[in-house]
């Protein structure tokens, strides 16, 4: 009976592992096949010949470095502003005693219920008419950064405010007695203490923004500002599609996320637990 229970436990753990790893393995094998093998229906078989040249073609013909730089620019800019804004809002909601604190928190949490697809048309109309002097917002990194910040703020505020509520008030009281201002307390005390959930917010924001496709395909049309998920169209022409190169490009695009997630997965768990339990 003991071995049966162990077998059931291993089986329960094996199911999510297989379901998560199998798509990556399938995509990796897909990236090493020729168009003939892929179109021939051999989706689940090993490649007859491992075409490592698909990765070279994806790197050279897919403008990989340019799209990688655009993705880094958009993702890092979003992360910086999300952390900056979310930490200030979370501090005001969780540490200040004011009448509408819970109402403001509820408004931000309602933002988590708005589907991204429902905002595409209104945002397109806004960005089309929005410009700063001669600078048009549409078809620039700013047209991605602004909505990305808006969609990532609710979960970031939720995590950070839950953690900040757990910080003892005596820390701030002693700092006030010593003559520290609110800004000094926030900068020198609250932010360092909140490092674990802030790391979690950074990683979750990175994963969500790095893989985002819908807004990038809607607001970006020029080759200059395409991001990695949108860059796969470089291998689609009017009369042919290089499926193997697309698979290789997707693997190279997902590689930074996979590496960062496995390296920092423990920090994600600790930050989520800190924000949930202590809050």
How many Å separate Cα 212 from the centre of its chain?
7
d(CA 255, CA 68): 11
d(CA 94, CA 98): 10
What is the token pair recorded at 218? 């809607």
d(CA 248, CA 259): 16
pLDDT tier for residue 122 given thresholds of 50, 70 and 90:
very high
Q: Which fold has domain 62-235?
A: MetI-like fold (1.10.3720)
Is the pLDDT at 21 greater than 70, yes or no? yes
End-to-end CA distance of the chain: 41
* pLDDT tens, residue by residue, 126-144: 998 888 777 888 999 999 9
Q: What is the pTM of this model?
A: 0.83
pLDDT for 76: 94
Q: Count CB atoms within 10 A of the CB of residue 166.
A: 13
pLDDT tier for residue 267 given thresholds of 50, 70 and 90:
low
> Between vectors from CA 17 to CA 15 and to CA 23, what angle results, nearest 5°?
105
The domains of the chain are located at: 62-235
pLDDT for 273: 57
pLDDT tier for residue 37 given thresholds of 50, 70 and 90:
confident
pLDDT for 274: 55
Is the pLDDT at 243 greater than 80, yes or no? yes
């Amino acid at each position: 009976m003991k071995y049966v229970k162990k077998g059931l436990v291993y089986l329960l753990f094996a199911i999510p592992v297989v379901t998560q790893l199998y798509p990556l393995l399938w995509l990796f094998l897909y990236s090493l096949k020729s168009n003939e093998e892929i179109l021939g229906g051999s989706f689940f078989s090993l490649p007859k010949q491992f075409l490592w040249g698909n990765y070279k073609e994806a790197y050279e013909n897919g403008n990989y470095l340019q799209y990688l730089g655009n993705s880094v620019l958009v993702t890092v800019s979003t992360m910086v502003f999300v952390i900056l804004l979310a930490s200030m809002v979370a501090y005001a909601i969780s540490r200040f005693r004011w009448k509408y604190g819970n109402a403001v928190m509820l408004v931000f949490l309602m933002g988590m219920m708005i589907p991204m697809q429902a905002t595409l048309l209104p945002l397109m109309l806004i960005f089309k008419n929005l410009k700063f002097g001669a600078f048009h917002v549409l078809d620039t990194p700013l047209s991605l950064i602004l909505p990305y910040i808006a969609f990532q703020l609710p979960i970031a505020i939720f995590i950070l405010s839950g953690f900040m509520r757990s910080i003892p008030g005596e820390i701030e009281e002693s700092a006030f007695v010593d003559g520290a201002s609110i800004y000094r307390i926030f900068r020198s005390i609250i932010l360092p203490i909140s490092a674990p959930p802030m790391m979690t917010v950074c990683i979750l924001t990175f994963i969500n923004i790095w893989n985002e496709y819908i807004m990038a395909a809607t607001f970006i049309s020029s080759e200059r500002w395409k991001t990695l998920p949108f860059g796969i169209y470089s291998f689609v022409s009017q009369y042919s599609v290089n499926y193997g190169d697309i698979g290789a490009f997707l693997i190279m695009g997902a590689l930074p996320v996979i590496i960062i997630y496995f390296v920092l997965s423990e920090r994600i768990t600790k930050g989520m637990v800190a924000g949930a339990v202590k809050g």
